């Protein structure tokens, strides 16, 4: 069992720590808002007063934060996690952030004598709690092999994809498909509904057809029954889509459906729907189709 640090104990990070505690690991955690992490302290997690304390006390430190800015906030400065790293320590970054910033951070970690892996995940809190999360890893292969047993305590599928930054690039390549698929489904669903087919019936047929990917099968029902707390809100999915568009521009890869879907996410924000799960794209299209929600 390893001594672990974990920074970012929100929607995804909290349940990850729960799984690590259940596996018998000693975890020292930090979250910007302590009250959100009290349930983990009650389960046996040690509390750290800063990211530096969390990484200083651990052999392997993880971060799972909202975006690139949040990552930089917990990594840098006298109380940042970098200040607690040293020779022999390992840092595993699991957020979906800018690949360039991830690679830059890996260089800063190496300068401390430590090693860094980028290890974003594919799935949601639903798949995480069900023990079905998929993890992709970039960085030094030997370091990956060393950390892999711990990652398997978080999710059963762990794939090594290559060097530093490549896993977060892979994650962005995956995530651009999520809102694009939802947009296409919404178009078909609205076409069926305005033809006279009840929405619930049309959605059931769509989800039993050849177009129903695993992602759609667990996300599309949110169109009919929005969750009280979004699994993946409009702002978050647009953050990932913008990272994809930035990569496409830099690499010379046209991303036409991603660019179009990004504009529909802009429309959702303009309608004050930014804090809703991105399945709310259906509402945006429905209003323009003359269907009142």
Positions annotated as catalytic residues are: 171
Contacts of 204 (CB under 8 A, 6+ apart): none
Q: Three-state SS across 80-104?
A: CHHHHCCCCCEEEECCCCCHHHHHH
Tokens of 247: 């990569």
Q: Cα(102)–Cα(155) distance, rounded to whole angstroms?
A: 22
Distances (CA, A) of 196 to 148, 187, 282: 52, 15, 17
Distant-in-sequence, close-in-space partners of 56: CB < 8 Å, separation ≥ 6: 5, 83, 84, 85
Two tokens at 148? 């892999």
Residue 103: name the closest of 146, 158, 59, 162 by CA: 162
Which residue spans within the chain are E strands per DSSP?
Answer: 3-7, 26-30, 46-47, 60-63, 90-93, 115-118, 121-122, 134-138, 157-162
Could you give the C-alpha distances from 265 to 3, 173, 239, 258, 289, in angstroms and in order?
41, 18, 10, 10, 17
Q: In whole angstroms, what is the distance from residue 155 CA to residue 161 CA?
A: 16
Buried b (16+ CB within 10 A) or exposed e, 227-246: eeebbbbbbbbbbbbbbbbe
> What is the rounded distance in angstroms from the CA atom of residue 129 to the CA atom of residue 107?
33
């Amino acid at each position: 069992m390893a001594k672990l640090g974990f920074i970012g104990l929100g929607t995804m990070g909290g349940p990850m720590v729960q799984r690590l505690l259940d596996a018998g690991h000693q975890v020292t955690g930090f979250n910007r808002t302590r009250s959100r992490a009290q349930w983990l302290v009650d389960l046996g997690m040690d509390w750290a007063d800063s990211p530096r304390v969390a990484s200083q006390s651990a052999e392997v430190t993880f971060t799972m934060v909202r975006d690139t800015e949040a990552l930089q906030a917990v990594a840098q400065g006298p109380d940042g996690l970098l200040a607690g790293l040293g020779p022999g320590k390992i840092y595993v970054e699991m957020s979906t952030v800018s690949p360039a910033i991830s690679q830059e951070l890996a260089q800063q970690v190496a300068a401390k004598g430590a090693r860094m892996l980028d290890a974003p995940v594919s799935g949601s809190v639903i798949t995480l709690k069900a023990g079905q999360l998929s993890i992709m890893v970039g960085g030094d292969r030997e370091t990956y092999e060393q950390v892999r047993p711990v990652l398997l305590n978080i999710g059963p599928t762990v794939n090594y994809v290559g060097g530093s930054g490549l896993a977060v690039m892979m994650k962005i390549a995956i995530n651009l498909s999520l809102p694009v698929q939802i947009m296409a489904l919404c178009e078909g669903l609205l076409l069926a509904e305005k033809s006279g087919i009840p929405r619930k019936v049309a959605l059931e047929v769509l989800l039993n057809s050849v177009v129903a990917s695993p992602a759609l099968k667990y996300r599309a029902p949110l169109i009919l029954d929005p969750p009280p707390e979004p699994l993946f809100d409009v702002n978050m999915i647009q953050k990932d889509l913008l990272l994809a568009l930035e990569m496409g521009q830099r690499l010379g890869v046209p991303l036409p459906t991603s660019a179009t879907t990004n504009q529909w996410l802009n429309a959702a924000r303009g309608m004050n729907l930014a804090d809703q799960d991105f399945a709310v794209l259906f509402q945006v299209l429905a209003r323009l189709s003359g269907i009142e929600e």
